Structures are given as C-alpha cells and as structure tokens.
Structure 1
C-alpha cells in the first residue's frame, strides 16, 4: 500500500468512526473535522461504498449509513477470551485473512496454535475452487486461525468437517440455532448458506503440517450489496438470532475451534462422524456430485469415519473425498 493509499484509508477510517452511529452528518461538517473539501469527502464516501458500505445521501442532511456499525476491537475481544488465550489480531481491510497468515508462514514467522486474524473487510476473500467470498465492511466475520498437526498432511483429512461441527456447536449453544452442515465445508441456516470454511495446508506428507483455517460467517449482510455479488440463497445470524456482538462471537469461535481441534488430534475424525451426520443437510436426500463436466446422481448417506462422502448410486454405496467435487441437491428427484 502506497503512502497516498495509507493516508486515504486513514481518512476513510475516521469517516467510518463518525458514521458508525447511523446518524446524519453533513459533508461540510465532516470536511471541517478532517480539514478537507466537500468534494474530497464525497470522493472518500464513494470509496467507502466500494468496500460494501451502504450509504444514504440526503440533500440538506448529509450522509448516513443504512445501518449503524459495530466495529471490531482487539481490546473488547480480550474481555471475552479466557486468560492465556492465543491472540486475536484485528485488521481493517486485507486482501484475505488466509493469505495474510500464509504469507507469515512463508516468511518463517512464529505463530501460536489458535492464533487468529480477523478483518473488517477483504478485497479478495475467497472460498473453495477460487470462488469469491463477498466481504463487505463491518458486516460479517472474516477470520483465519493458525494450527499445526504433528502427523503430517494425511492427518488433516476430514478437518473442514470438524470445523463445521465446531461452528455448528457454537451456533447451537450461544444462539439456540439449528444449523445444518453441507459436505465438505459449508454451514447452513434455514436451508440457506450461513458460513463457510477454507483450509489451506503447508507441510510434508509425513512431517509437521501447518494449517490456516479460514472461516466466513454472515452476521449482518447488507441486502443491496449481496444482491449484486452473491448468486445463491444466503442468510445471516442477525436474521436468525437477532442483534449480536461480533467481538464476543469471534472470541467464542476461537475457543470452540481450539476445543474441537484438540479433540481431533487425540481421536481423529471418527469421534466426529455421528456429530456431522446428524446435522447433515442432505442426509437421505437425492444429490448430485459435480466434478468438471461429470455428474453423479444418488442418495446421500452422510460421511464415513474418515470424512469421505457416502453416496448410493445405482444400488451401490460409493465413497468420495474433497478435491474439485461439488455437492448439490438433485432437483430432478
């Protein structure tokens, strides 16, 4: 980021702090506070809209956010963490929280197991198969956690399902929701996508494996922004559970994931098989598995003790694992 970009972002951060309460502020008043012209304020407001913020501009009143913002705060997050917890760092805007942690690993930086990076927005957030993960500012939760496995990359099989179980358990215990899990990495609420997991690995097949576990949870998605960028049914936590504190959410998410990762290290995926299957979105349902131009239709029977998907096709149960596979409901049945 250039010095000019940095100073521009500093101004935009100040504007966000003023606007966060959801009240109207005139362009001239904002310009006085920041020693800028009204034209410069208008240009910065346009940039904020590019970050996914929904702004109203009313003649004679000024600018107002469509809804108040609750900003992430490292100081507030600490109050929700047990003593001795790994750090949760807060950034405003990054390319991708996963990319940031992977770059640190490549540089040889020392990270602690359970250490997290959370951002208000991502410019190039991503999901499986390189798909874009829409990441509007201060609307949702974009988080990546560092972990390591001593047994090598092979030991990581089924890990995205474990994180799905951890997120589901958090939503059940903290918000009394009934989430469903979609193999291999999605969490659904009320039949619509609520959250996703993206795990990236670095290491040897038989040596220590370093993991970056990315999690995106829809918290209060701006509807207008979502219409432009999301091509599938979605839902957010605010719709399902009412207003909530994102600072508390990330602290509890960290602890829930650490607890389940430690359990996974001791017992493997077999300990999670029944927990995944009872929450399986497609359990007993007709499904289609898509791999490139190939499609297989059958009935979903959950996962086996290694996290492989079980699909009954033409009277025979077959196993499938991650890679480039996509699982969908089969509307033809």
Structure 2
C-alpha cells in the first residue's frame, strides 16, 4: 500500500464540491468488485441526484474489450457515476469522448503537461496511459437515457505493478510535484463532468468537438484500427460530429464508430 494512502471520505469530497455537493449521491467504500457493475444494479435516487460509487480498491474492475483494470489500495482513483439524459438527448454519440475531455481539462487545470486524448476512451500523458473510461448504457425502467460512466486514474502505482499496455503507463505522482488526493480529484472531475454533460445534453458532441480535437493524440498520424475480424490502416483525420473516428485510407475517408476496436500507431 502507498505510504501516503488517503482513504476516500464523503465529508471531504462534499466540501470540495462546495455548491454542487447536493447534485450528487455519494457512496464511498473501501472496496467492491466493479463500480460499474454495482452502480448499474443500484436503485436510482428519487431526488434527481447523480449516483456516484467510488472505492479505494476494485477487486474485479473492468475496462473495454474485456480487459481488467488492475487496482491496489492508494494506487488509483476508481469510480462510476450514473447520468440521466432527457429524451431526445444525443446519447451515446461521442459520450466517452466528452468524459475524456473532462478528465483532460481537470488535469490541465492541475498543471499536468502533455495531456492527450486517444480515441475513444483513454487519457495519455506524452503517449503513456494515465486514465481510462468505460461507458455503459444503463437498462431498466427510467425516463430518458441513462449511462454509467466508469473512470480509472493511476495515482501512485506500486513498483511491482505490471500493466501491459502499448506505449506504457504513467501515474499522476510522476506528473506533478504535489498531486491532489483522491477526494479533491474526485470532486474536481465530478464538477467538470457536470458542466460538460450540461453542454452535451443540450447541443451534442459537436459543441465540444473542437476542444477534443485540440488534444487528439494521433491527429494526422498513420494508425491501425483493429477489431476481432479485420484491420484498417490510414491517417487519423480527427472525429466527426457524433464522435466517430475519421480515417483517411487509399479508398477514401471512412468513419469508425466506437465499439470493440483498438486504435494504434501504424
């Protein structure tokens, strides 16, 4: 365990949220299997608050494409939040990209240099993975559309951590001389998500597209798109109004929708 381990504390998170504290229903625990799984099955608050489940450690954290999010106490901030959008909102088009943008803006606010976004759901620092996002639409009898947004951020990885990932990984402790604790960081991210989701729900991803493009890690670079059945190659031409990846190939420009695909440098 990290010797500077700071446990999640509801009072500290609410204090950091300040005037937005009443917008969230916080559930903070030492441990659970998967915050996305647990939150998807939990009943919704009847007062319109956004449910948030954050833990010091996940024992069965999940990432995209069936990957496991490895977790050690004090090593990462892992949490999920459930957001409801009005009928007619553009969900899920570009939703994971909005989450990545929120994380990038918080990191830049803290003074982290070299923040990049990898389509559709990773946050990189100079090409190394710092954070990941898993968005799952929530089923059940709810008005409008609901999405569970899972986020994992490396805070202080132990020396024995072995995380296979193309390009390598990095933690927040390597990016800042005095990184924030998990309580402050959780409040900062929830605050930014609250603001950006308000824009997204009203105007769609198109209103945030330019901000995402400014941080596109692979802009103009040759890339490979790999899924279970085939591989596509081309130059990354950015993203479309609905968050689809644009790929310039010898056959012309193609759109790649968010799904079970992997984006890599060619």
Residue 311 of structure 1 is aligned with which of 247, 260, 266? 247
Instruction: Tell me, yes or no, if the aligned pair for 2:55 and 2:77 is still in contact at 8 Å.
Output: yes
The alpha carbon displacement at 1:231 in A equals: 4.0
Report the CA distance shift for 1:292/1:184 in structure 2 as closer, same or farther (over 3 A): same
Q: 2:31 — aligned with what?
A: 93
Residue 176 of structure 2 is aligned with which of 229, 232, 241? 241
Q: Give 3-state SS (helix, strand or coil) of 2:174's partner.
A: helix
1:285 aligns with 2:221: yes
Instruction: Tell me, yes or no, if the aligned pair for 2:244 and 2:256 is still in contact at 8 Å.
Output: yes
Within 5 Å, give how 1:102-113 maps onto structure 2. Answer: 102-105=40-43, 110=46, 112-113=48-49
Report the CA distance shift for 1:113/1:211 in structure 2 as closer, same or farther (over 3 A): farther
1:129-179 Cα distance to aligned partner (Å, 9 max, x none)? 111011111211001111011236863210000011111011111234331
Distance (Å, rounded) in 2 between the aligned partners of 1:111 and 1:173:
31
Distance (Å, rounded) in 2 between the aligned partners of 1:170 and 1:148:
22
Distance (Å, rounded) in 2 between the aligned partners of 1:111 and 1:290:
43
Q: 1:254 — aligned with what?
A: 190
The alpha carbon displacement at 1:74 in A equals: 1.3
Distance (Å, rounded) in 2 between the aligned partners of 1:274 and 1:238:
29
Q: 1:297 — aligned with what?
A: 233
1:223-256 Cα distance to aligned partner (Å, 9 max, x none)? 21x22x4344000111011232221110111100
The alpha carbon displacement at 1:115 in A equals: 2.9
TM-score, with length taken from structure 2: 0.91
Instruction: Tell me, yes or no, if the aligned pair for 1:218 and 1:236 is still in contact at 8 Å.
Output: yes
1:12-71 Cα distance to aligned partner (Å, 9 max, x none)? xxxxxxxxxxxxxxxxxxxxxxxxxxxxxxxxxxxxxxxxx3xxxxxxxxxxxx633222
Instruction: Tell me, yes or no, if the aligned pair for 1:298 and 1:312 is still in contact at 8 Å.
Output: yes
Segments of 5+ residues of structure 1 without an aligned counterpart are 1-52, 54-65
The alpha carbon displacement at 1:208 in A equals: 1.4
1:198-236 Cα distance to aligned partner (Å, 9 max, x none)? 0111248xx611111100011111121x22x43440001
1:230 aligns with 2:164: yes
Q: Which has the higher contact order (CA 8 A, sep 6+)?
A: 2
Q: 2:87 — aligned with what?
A: 151
TM-score, with length taken from structure 1: 0.74
Segments of 5+ residues of structure 2 without an aligned counterpart are none
Instruction: Tell me, yes or no, if the aligned pair for 2:39 and 2:148 is still in contact at 8 Å.
Output: yes
More strand by share: 2
1:101-123 Cα distance to aligned partner (Å, 9 max, x none)? 00114xx6647443311100001
CA RMSD, Structure 1 to Structure 2 (Å): 2.0
More helix by share: 1
User: Of the two, which has the highest radius of gyration?
Assistant: 1
